[in-house]
Amino acid sequence: MESPNGTIAQEFIFSAFPYSWIQSVVCFVPLLFIYAFIVVGNLVILTVVHLNTHLHTPMYVFISALSFLEIWYTTATIPKMLSSLLSERRSISFNGCLLQMYFFHSTGISEVCLLTAMAFDRYLAICSPLHYPTIMTPKLCAQLTLSCCVCGFITPLPEIVWISTLPFCGSNHLEHIFCDFLPVLRLACTDTRAIVMIQVVDVIHAVEIITAVMLIFMSYIGIVAVILRIRSAGGRRKAFSTCVSHLIVFLLFFGSVALMYLRFSATYSLFWDTAIALAFAVLSPFFNPIIYSLRNKEIKDALKKHLSQAKTWFW
């Protein structure tokens, strides 16, 4: 990358962070708390599921995989945000920017695929309860989880390689809080090529998001149709309760992602760009451990059991 004076610029500078030291500290403290909560909360879910054999079912295997991905999804961006808030020079190397984009999007796409697989799992459990154990075997569950990760880590590779070949000869000030496709592409100095790439990236994201949403939507149409045929209110409530957590996580995550990546030619102010980015990069992962622990009786009971055992051990 060359700057206007002809020298090669090897970094991007984040310009969306507050310039005031007091404002930076005010942002740093809650962000640090949120990140710590995300890591600890998801590690607790992973540990509880691992230690309790009765939770070794497809649904909890998927939840564990989602928790594992959430840790790395947030680790791709939040630690750099924290260091930038306390640093005078909020910069990231060009290669570091590419790596951040790759791991952020690869773990994010893996989560999208996993949420789709979880919808399929709930569809089978409610719509075909008698055949569910023979269809959703541990082998199929592992294959689906692995396929989600493979899909996630392969899909963004062409975009990353493509961006790495672009010349960046203008400003290196990135108007965002982390490296993402569109903010980086706006800094490319080949206007026509960059515009084409932005349009291509928009289409790719649209296809990924709409495909996942349609598959999840069709799964829930089948689920709702079966639930409505259940005669007792208690039976309907029990059947729907197994889907509520997944549905809330789906709406939180896909709602903010759609606002960011399904806008095509629409542009937002820097404030709204930052707010939307924080929604799906920070807030959605923050709520996931709460949703999957507080709304899940089996995980709550298992956690209470381990906490009581810990108290007995220490006291």
DSSP 147-177: HHHHHHHHTTHHHHHHHHTS---S--EESSS
Asked if pLDDT for residue 315 goes beyond 70, the answer is no
Of residues 195 and 180, the one with the higher pLDDT is 180
Alpha-carbon dihedral 114, 116, 117, 120, rounded to 10 degrees: 160
Instruction: Write down the pLDDT at residue 264.
Output: 59
Percent of the chain with pLDDT over 90: 47
Q: How many other C-beta atoms lie within 10 A of the C-beta of residue 53?
A: 8
Cα 72 from Cα 13, distance rounded (Å) = 23
Task: Answer positive or negative: Cα dihedral of 167, 173, 176, 179.
Answer: positive
Burial class, 74, CB count within 10 angstroms (exposed 0-12 / middle 13-18 / buried 19+): buried
- 263's tokens: 């806008």
Longest Cα–Cα distance of the chain, Å, equals 75
Average pLDDT, the chain: 86
pTM, full prediction: 0.89
Taking residues 220-245, report their average pLDDT: 82
- 51's tokens: 């230690």
Cα 10 from Cα 217, distance rounded (Å) = 44
Three-point CA angle 44, 216, 301, nearest 5°:
25
What is the CATH class of 11-161+168-304?
Answer: mainly alpha
